[in-house]
């Protein structure tokens, strides 16, 4: 099963003097009720409705942070809540609906040197969003300070350059790419997606990339990473979504991958 990470950014100047232990202590025990109360007091009805709509998924909006441990680079926490599942089935000609609740825990990493705020395996984008908003509120008194990581064309191309670099014993390759607003034959296409092993070596890839306004995502195989002696297959999009398709991926694999992305994207 792929591992899904959602990447957000904290302005590094806001955390320059903090230690990972500072972040752990500030976030430990933060609850979604704090975010609801903030929106109510601010009169932000739109955000309040968006948050309360999650009560159909997060039971009683009772999600909260708990600290795990600190490393030299980050603070690692869990965000936990009861997830409400609903499914329907037919029995003897009648439609029946069953509800079930399951405890869900998401790893959350706060990277002090790069400013990355990483939410693991959120089933819905709006869940990772409220996790980041709650952290932002608790850390800075403002739910908007932590914002989605947005990668422009140059950032995506930096990933491409790293993946295909010949400095590694085994280099990687681009497997798939999606583009927006692509001009072909005097027409502008909203979206174009092309897929081929070794896509980066083909002329059509360069042609479409050159005629597109935005490179929205790339799926790639990393070079052989010496720290873990593995190559990882990933998809990175321009809105900070990172999927890791490699089976049996370990925490140390993800840690090394994030280190490389921070370096390639010049976040440190």
Q: What is the pLDDT of residues 173-213, one digit of tens each?
A: 999 988 888 887 778 888 888 888 888 888 888 888 888 88
Q: pLDDT (tens digit, 9 = 90+) per residue, 239-257?
A: 899 999 999 999 999 999 9
23 plus 105 within the same structural domain: yes
Q: Are residues 136 and 79 in the same domain?
A: yes
Boundary-marking domain end, from 127, 148, 169 = 148
Average pLDDT over residues 38-51: 96
Beta bridge partners of 147: 9
Among the residue ranges 8-22, 127-141, 206-220, 221-235, the one predicted with the least confidence is 206-220
Q: How many CB atoms lie within 10 A of CB 8?
A: 24
Two tokens, residue 164: 């295909």
Same domain for 113 and 163, yes or no, is no
Detail the DSSP E strand segments found in 153-211.
Answer: 173-184, 187-195
The domain tally of the chain equals 2
Please say which residue of 148, 166, 197 terminates a domain: 148
**Structural domain range at position 115:** 3-148
- HSE toward the beta carbon, residue 201, CA cutoff 13 A: 8
Q: Report d(CA 160, CA 215) in Å as an integer.
A: 11
Beta bridge partners of 41: none
| Least confident segment among 77-81, 88-92, 251-255 | 88-92
Q: 27, 124, 138: which is closest to 74 by C-alpha? A: 27
In this prediction, residue 253 carries a pLDDT of 97
Strand spans (E) along 38-122: 64-70, 74-91, 94-111, 116-120
Same domain? For 9 and 94 the reply is yes
Domain match, 141 and 228 both? no
């Amino acid at each position: 099963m792929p591992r899904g990470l959602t990447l957000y950014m904290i302005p590094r100047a806001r955390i320059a003097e903090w230690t990972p232990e500072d972040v752990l202590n500030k976030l430990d025990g933060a609850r979604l009720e704090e975010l609801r109360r903030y929106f109510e007091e601010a009169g932000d009805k739109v955000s309040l409705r968006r948050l309360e709509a999650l009560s159909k998924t997060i039971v009683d909006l009772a999600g909260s942070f708990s600290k795990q441990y600190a490393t030299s680079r980050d603070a690692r926490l869990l965000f936990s809540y009861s997830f409400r599942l609903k499914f329907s089935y037919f029995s003897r000609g009648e439609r029946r609906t069953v509800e079930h609740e399951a405890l869900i825990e998401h790893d959350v990493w706060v990277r002090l040197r790069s400013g990355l705020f990483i939410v693991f395996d959120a089933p819905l984008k709006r869940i990772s969003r409220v996790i980041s908003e709650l952290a932002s509120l608790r850390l800075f008194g403002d739910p908007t300070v932590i914002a989605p990581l947005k990668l422009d064309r140059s950032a995506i191309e930096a990933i491409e350059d790293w993946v295909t670099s010949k400095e590694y014993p085994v280099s990687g390759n681009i497997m798939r790419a999606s583009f927006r607003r692509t001009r072909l034959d005097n027409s502008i296409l909203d979206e174009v997606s092309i897929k081929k092993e070794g896509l980066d070596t083909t002329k059509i890839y360069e042609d479409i990339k050159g005629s597109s306004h935005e490179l929205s995502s790339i799926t790639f195989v990393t070079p052989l990473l010496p720290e873990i002696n593995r190559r990882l297959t990933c998809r990175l999009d321009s809105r900070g979504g990172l999927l890791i398709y490699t089976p049996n991926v370990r925490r140390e694999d993800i840690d090394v991958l994030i280190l490389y992305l921070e370096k390639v994207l010049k976040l440190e």
